[in-house]
Amino acid sequence: MRIVISICGIWLFAQAGLAQESLHRQVDALILANAKGKTFSGSADDAEYLRRVYLDFAGRIPSATEARRFLDSKEVDRRTKLLDALLAGPEYAASMEGHFHVMLMERLGDHADWKKYLQRSFADNKPWDELVREILAAGPQEKAPGAAFFLSKRLENYGANPVDYPALTRDIGRLFLGKDFRCAQCHDHLTIKDYKQHDFQGLFVFVKNVSLSTAKTTTPGVTEKPTTAKIEFSSVFGGDKVQTGPRVPGLKEIAIPTLKKGEEYVEKPDVKQQKPGVLKFSTLAALSEQLPTPANQAFNRNIVNRLWFVLMGRGLVHPLDLDHGDNPPSHPEVLDLLAKEFVAHKYDIKWLVRELALTQTYQRSSQLPPLVKNAKPEEFRTALERRMSAEQLLRSMLQATGMTEVKAAKGVPTFDTMSPTFVKAFASEPREPEEEFSPTLKATLFLLNDKSVLSWLEAQPGNLLDRLGREIDNRKAVEELYLSVLTRLPGIDEAADAVRYLDERKGRRPVALRNLAWALFASTEFCVNH
């Protein structure tokens, strides 16, 4: 009896302890338990951690000076201090905008107001539910200029192709609910029993009367016609006709109010004044009120899964937009816990990314454990190599080549001037998710021969090659090079090889230095977030 009581006591104690345990510790415990005794990679060394955390929260690699400062630090809590400094730093908002722009727009297009809107939102640490509410309600323009871009870009038509409303419907399902209702447009999904035609059609009703506004605003806006009746559909495989009004999958259908013709508006649209009018019943308003709510489990699961993907390189649910009963998460308890806690913390994005970055899972090395040839990515026993976005590559190359330090009247590359070129070279085609490191011939030819990038590797006052050229000691030059480009010091063999390479080319040291630098920029180590 006493034994039972004491076991219960331990259990209760453990439960109480768990409840107070920070989220990152709980996550690590669950990941560990799931591995059933398999070995894990050790913690990333300081240099690997430094590079990773800079890429994630500053959108670039650190400078050699920043790297030295951190690597020389002996403080026990230097990692947490650095993380907090970056989260509070001036580059956090832009780096988060980068993650979310790629995630939500999937390279469909770009707009300065949209980027500003996202940056301001992350700078203010706007809760995720509020952000989504603004995006789905397309603003309003006065309150959240730029937010409408998510919808308006998808409401454009190309040539004689009509506006692709089914694609917009799918994107809302995929990006905010983690569910791709693609095949359920015309019939219940054949292989995914959770995805019903009713779900697609219900979501479709919210957007079918929405269109691109003709009003002249800096960000293209959207306008909405009254929705007065349900839609009727039937499966292409036959069967009865069914009706649905607007309904978020998994939630109750919204009743469409009966309004007499001509009385649908609180304020009628005025074409001359370019006023869109105010509807008594707006499906967009209904969508933005219903979808991003704590009661909507799919909404909660989707965002924590996507943030997990952003920082860990793979979703717990994978692919990110196929959350359904027959495709369970790799770690269901982790997903549930993250979703629950994120809601409890009122969709506080900065809090969640901080907790994720504090996990051992995030801080593991990308080197496999000893004697292990390959670890399944979904086990999260070894850090995954993540794709760097075109924007991260550009910021990192400007930083590493030292072009950020070059002072000249004109012709100095900046992030803004070079961004389109890098997006063209490194981004995927529209709607092709950038989820894996996936080098292309186009990008390779760009790195090999593009004249602007090659010019960054010519000595210009203040840049990397200028610094290396003025350093007479080859060993020191190689150290500076490695620290600037790869955010680490060279290994013994690497240093020896590089120094020998330079020693043998005394007569043409500038090009030898350039060749060495180029090779590091073109290496896989530089091109991935490892």
Partner 1 sequence: MNFKKLCTPLDHRISRRQWLGGVAGTTAGALGLCQPGLAQELRRRRKQVLFVWLEGGLSQLESWDPKPNTLFGGPFRAIPTTVPGIHISELWPRTAQQMRHLAVIRSLHTQDNNHSSGVGRIQRGDPANRGVTYPYFGSAVANLLGPGESGLPPYIWVKPGSGGFVTSDAGFLGPRYGALALGGGRAPENLLRADSVSEEDDRERLALRQLADRRYVQQRRTQGTEANSYVYDMAAQLQRHAHLFNSTTLPARDLERYGPSEFGRHMLLGRRLLEAGVTFVKVDSHGWDTHGDNFNGHSNAVPKIDQAFSAMMQDLADRSMLDNVLVVLMSEFGRTPRINGHIGRDHWAEGWSLVMAGSGIRRGVVVGRTNALGTFVEGDEHDIGHLFHTWFTALGINPSRTRYNNAGQPLPIAHEDMEPIRALLA
For residue 419, the Cα-to-chain-centroid distance in whole angstroms is 18
Applying CB under 8 A, does 516 fall inside the site for partner 1? yes
Q: Which CB sits closer to partner 1, 219 or 382?
A: 382
- Position among 235, 297, 404, 515 found at the interface with partner 1 (CB under 8 A): 515
Instruction: Pick the piece of the chain touching partner 1 (CB under 8 A) from 275-283, 356-364, 393-401, 522-530.
Output: 522-530
Q: Cβ 527 to partner 1, closest distance in Å?
A: 7
Applying CB under 8 A, does 366 fall inside the site for partner 1? yes
User: What is the Cα–Cα distance from 155 to 355, expressed in whole angstroms?
Assistant: 37
DSSP3 helix / strand / coil % (the chain, rounded to 5) = 55, 5, 40
Contacts of residue 427, defined as CB under 8 A and 6 or more positions apart, other chains included, come to: 102, 107, 389, 390, 434
Show the tokens assigned to 50: 């430094």
User: What is the Cα–Cα distance from 18 to 359, expressed in whole angstroms?
Assistant: 15
Contacts of residue 96, defined as CB under 8 A and 6 or more positions apart, other chains included, come to: 57, 118, 119, 122, 349, 353
Binding residues among 412-471 for partner 1 as defined by CB under 8 A: 428-429, 432, 436-446, 448-451, 454, 458
- Contact between 175 and 103 under an 8 Å Cβ cutoff? The reply is yes
CA trace torsion 491, 495, 497, 502 (10° rounding): 160
Q: Which CB sits closer to partner 1, 410 or 451?
A: 451
CA distance between the termini of the chain:
53
Q: Cβ 414 to partner 1, closest distance in Å?
A: 21
- Position among 368, 423, 459, 495 found at the interface with partner 1 (CB under 8 A): 368
Instruction: Pick the piece of the chain touching partner 1 (CB under 8 A) from 76-84, 259-267, 352-360, 519-527.
Output: 519-527
Q: Cβ 438 to partner 1, closest distance in Å?
A: 5
- Position among 89, 257, 332, 491 found at the interface with partner 1 (CB under 8 A): 491
Binding residues among 152-211 for partner 1 as defined by CB under 8 A: 158-161, 182-183, 185-186
Show the tokens assigned to 62: 């650190």
Q: Name the one residue in this structure whose structure tokens are 């979808």.
A: 291
Instruction: Pick the piece of the chain touching partner 1 (CB under 8 A) from 59-67, 119-127, 260-268, 367-375.
Output: 367-375
User: What is the Cα–Cα distance from 133 to 129, expressed in whole angstroms?
Assistant: 6
Applying CB under 8 A, does 404 fall inside the site for partner 1? no
Q: Cβ 69 to partner 1, closest distance in Å?
A: 25
Q: Cβ 513 to partner 1, closest distance in Å?
A: 11
HEC profile for 145-159? CCCCHHHHHHCCCCC
For residue 526, the Cα-to-chain-centroid distance in whole angstroms is 19
Q: What is the DSSP string of 88-132?
A: HSTTHHHHHHHHHHHHHHTTS---HHHHHHHHHHHHTT--HHHHH
Show the tokens assigned to 102: 């790629």
Applying CB under 8 A, does 492 fall inside the site for partner 1? no
Q: Which CB sits closer to partner 1, 29 or 167?
A: 167
- Position among 289, 378, 466, 494 found at the interface with partner 1 (CB under 8 A): 494
Instruction: Pick the piece of the chain touching partner 1 (CB under 8 A) from 27-35, 71-79, 87-95, 369-377.
Output: 369-377
Q: Name the one residue in this structure whose structure tokens are 């095949």.
A: 183
Q: Cβ 51 to partner 1, closest distance in Å?
A: 13
Applying CB under 8 A, does 45 fall inside the site for partner 1? no
Instruction: Pick the piece of the chain touching partner 1 (CB under 8 A) from 23-31, 240-248, 407-415, 510-518.
Output: 510-518
Binding residues among 205-244 for partner 1 as defined by CB under 8 A: none
Q: Which CB sits closer to partner 1, 5 or 160?
A: 160
Applying CB under 8 A, does 367 fall inside the site for partner 1? yes
Give the interface size with partner 1 as a residue count (CB under 8 A).
56
- C-alpha distances out from residue 351 to 2, 146, 183, 338, 354, Å: 42, 25, 36, 11, 5
Q: Which residues bind partner 1 (CB under 8 A)?
A: 158-161, 182-183, 185-186, 366-368, 370, 374-375, 382, 385, 428-429, 432, 436-446, 448-451, 454, 458, 491, 493-494, 497, 501, 511-512, 514-516, 518-520, 522-525, 527-528, 530
